[in-house]
Amino acid sequence: MKAIYILCVRQLKRYVRSPARIIGSLGQPILFLVALGFGFKAMFARAGGGNYIDFLAPGIISMAILFNAVFSGIEIIWDRQFGFLKETLVAPVSRLEIVFGRMLGGALVAMAQGIVVFVICLIAGFRVKSSPILPLAIVFMFLIALLFAGIGTVFGSMLQDMQGFPLIINFLVMPLFFFSGAIFSADGLPKFLQFGLRLNPLSYGVDGLRGACTGVFAYGLKTDLAAVTILTAILLGIGSYFFSKIQL
């Protein structure tokens, strides 16, 4: 447990000490929120969909979380190149603890960024429905962060090229975001796209967060919770396996 705590605190300190990183990571979510939220607001309302910002905001919050979480994996490559990883691996703790500590630290940082974007969405006009399940919004934000921190850990353990990591991650993450129901509803899509959304792990995170905030679920609360929790546990195991294969 001490190793997990140390790794979490270390990543949180890196986040707090880097104001440029905090501000820079807000650029893309704010751009999507303003360009799409206000650009398609009138069209969405005319189509009978209600307030588009209420629909879009959970997807934008999820985007902020997943990008921050998945890019936490690059720190493994960084630590490998500068020797800190070697010091970590020779410590008398299990690789599972190290992986979980890194995932948890990355998830907490990503979640903090998600909360900042959540506040920005409220300022932009996002209205949260008061309901008994509203606290589950925090749960889903944390699960999304932990899930994608796990994906980042897997690729950070497999790759050694710092320049290659962002290219591969963007190639993977952008389709996951766009085909997750974050910016458009799955209703009326062709069957093959609906099937693709069902296979996308982010779809369940976005739906759970949106449902907790608005009270409307596309897949159901239990399905969303089960899917994200199980996938996170699987990625923890996969991340531990690849992390244990790291050659220094």
24-80 per-position pLDDT tens digit = 778 888 888 888 888 888 777 776 667 888 899 999 999 999 988 898 888 887 777
How many structural domains is the chain composed of?
1
* Least confident interval from 98-102, 118-122, 145-149, 232-236: 98-102
Which one is predicted more confidently, 151 or 44? 151
Q: What is the mean pLDDT of the chain?
A: 83
How much is the pLDDT for 51?
A: 82
Domain limits for position 67: 2-244
Which one is predicted more confidently, 152 or 246? 152
User: Rounded to whole angstroms, how far apart are CA atoms 62 and 159?
Assistant: 25
pTM for this predicted structure: 0.89
How much is the pLDDT for 211?
A: 92
Tokens of 199: 């296979």
How much is the pLDDT for 13?
A: 64
Contact yes or no for 114/65 (Cβ under 8 A):
yes
How much is the pLDDT for 225?
A: 93
Tokens of 12: 């949180």
How much is the pLDDT for 62?
A: 93
The count of C-alpha atoms lying within 13 angstroms of the C-alpha of 78, restricted to the half-sphere facing its C-beta, is 9
- Please give the biggest Cα pair distance in the chain: 62
How much is the pLDDT for 95?
A: 72
How much is the pLDDT for 34?
A: 87
Contact yes or no for 32/63 (Cβ under 8 A):
yes
User: Rounded to whole angstroms, how far apart are CA atoms 147 and 116?
Assistant: 19
DSSP 8-state code for residue 34: I
How much is the pLDDT for 91?
A: 66
199-234 per-position pLDDT tens digit = 999 999 999 999 999 888 889 899 999 999 999 889
User: Rounded to whole angstroms, how far apart are CA atoms 17 and 13?
Assistant: 6
How much is the pLDDT for 3?
A: 59
How much is the pLDDT for 170?
A: 86
User: Rounded to whole angstroms, how far apart are CA atoms 62 and 118?
Assistant: 10
| Average confidence (pLDDT) over 85-91 | 68
| Average confidence (pLDDT) over 244-248 | 69
DSSP 8-state code for residue 130: P
Close Cβ partners of 88 (under 8 Å, ≥ 6 residues apart): 7, 79, 98
Residue 105 has pLDDT above 80, yes or no: yes
